[in-house]
Structure 1
Amino acid sequence: MEIFTESQFSACYIHYRRRVRGYILSRVSDREEAEDLTQDVFENIWRCREGVRKETLHNLVYTVMRNTVIDYLRRRYMKKDKMDIYTCCEEEGRSTVEEDYYYKELRVAHRKMVKQLSEKRRQAYILYFYRGMSYASIADRLSVSERSVGSHLQRAFRAVRLGVDGIYRYKAG
């Protein structure tokens, strides 16, 4: 099998760079992030260059580009969810007693919901949320694929968010 050469990679980069960056920019809306993600797309293609064939290059570029954007958005929304759970409302730089109480209740509700997750989801959630581990590291630790880690985390975040929201809707109602 012929290995994707450096000159072929350069031609690929020149040919697809603007399209990839345009697509990413339409999804991300931040020029610097779009540029970084564009570089990530081509870095991923370079890393898997042994398996690249000319006839499948077009599909590979678009698949890697789409997956890169999806992973970025997933991480961004999970990070936003993490921040929403632990962000305390502040007025003029100070929190009120009521906000402190709400924050403590929210932490208790969060811990309770995490304990109710299935074993694998709880482990993945704790490793990602509290220890900041990557999907790859979690996959190695739990002996599952990165895709499974993503699925466990997505479902865990949804369950925790819905559970915590449900507790507060019940108290308010």
Structure 2
Amino acid sequence: MSSGLVSETIHALYSDHHGWLSGWLRRKLGCTHQAADLAQDVFVRIMSSPSQPIMREPRAYLTRVAHGLVVNHWRRREVEQAYLDALQNLPPSMVPSVEQRLLVLETLFEIERMLSGLPIKVRQAFLLSQMDGMKYADIAIELNVSERMVKKYMAQAMLACLTLGRAI
């Protein structure tokens, strides 16, 4: 598809469906401003996609892209709220600066994204080990798998952590 045709297609998609998409997002999010931001993000994502899909059902396609962005939006809000809740328990002298908080939040978002990309049992094993301090034998019982499988899960999770560490 030539770049001129792609531009025309995206322009038509935007013109024909932006208002509808903004309304759909507004109902999902309950906020006009967030809906407008995410609607723009949908079209930016489509424009920056290496391959432009042929859309027989443009609203279904837009909904699918927007749904993914809404899920990411809610995840980010949950992570941010948990962090802000933890900060409230700190004495004022230990509260990090705004810049430090932003850096920590970005790191937490990356960790959450990495964890959400892991298979469920790998994620569960990792969290049970790292957050709850459980031993591999106990994790095996909890997940109804062998201890050897827990070791494989942990190796997979640690590899993801190393990969993330290099990216950050």
For this structure pair, what is the TM-score category when the shorter chain's length is used for normalisation?
0.5 to 0.7
Normalising by structure 1, we get a TM-score of: 0.52
Residue 41 of structure 1: how far off its partner (Å)? 0.7
Say whether the 8 Å CA contact 1:21–1:34 is kept in structure 2.
yes
**Partner residue of 2:117 out of 144, 148, 158:** 148
> SS state of the match for residue 107, structure 2?
coil
Distance in structure 2 (CA, Å) of the matches to 1:87 and 1:150:
33
Could you tell me how far apart the structure 1 residues matched to 2:59 and 2:24 are? Answer: 14
Aligned pair in 2 of structure 1 residues 86, 10: CA closer, same or farther (>3 Å)? Answer: same
Q: Is the 8 A contact 1:13 1:42 kept in 2?
A: yes
Q: Distance in 1 between matches of 2:19 and 2:31?
A: 15
Contact 1:17/1:38 (8 A) holds in 2: yes
Mapped to 1, the partners of 2:9 and 2:15 lie a distance apart of 10
> AA paired with 1:133?
T
1:53-77 CA distance string (max 9 Å, x none): 1325443211001111111111011
Q: Which runs of 5+ in 2 are unaligned?
A: 95-101, 133-168
> RMSD value over aligned CA atoms?
3.9
Output the CA distance in 1 between the equivalents of 2:118 and 2:105. 15
Match of 1:9 in 2: 10
Ranges of 4+ aligned residues in structure 1 off by more than 3 Å: 128-131, 144-147, 149-153
Could you tell me the TM-score, scaled by structure 2's length?
0.54
For the 8 Å contact 1:138–1:149, the answer to whether it is kept is no
Structure having greater relative contact order (Cα 8 Å, sep ≥ 6): 1
Q: Percent identity?
A: 16
Q: CA deviation at 1:134?
A: 7.5
Conserved? CA contact 1:82–1:129, under 8 Å: no
Structure 1, unpaired ranges of 5+: 89-98, 105-127, 162-173
Q: Tell me the CA shift for residue 82 of structure 1.
A: 1.1
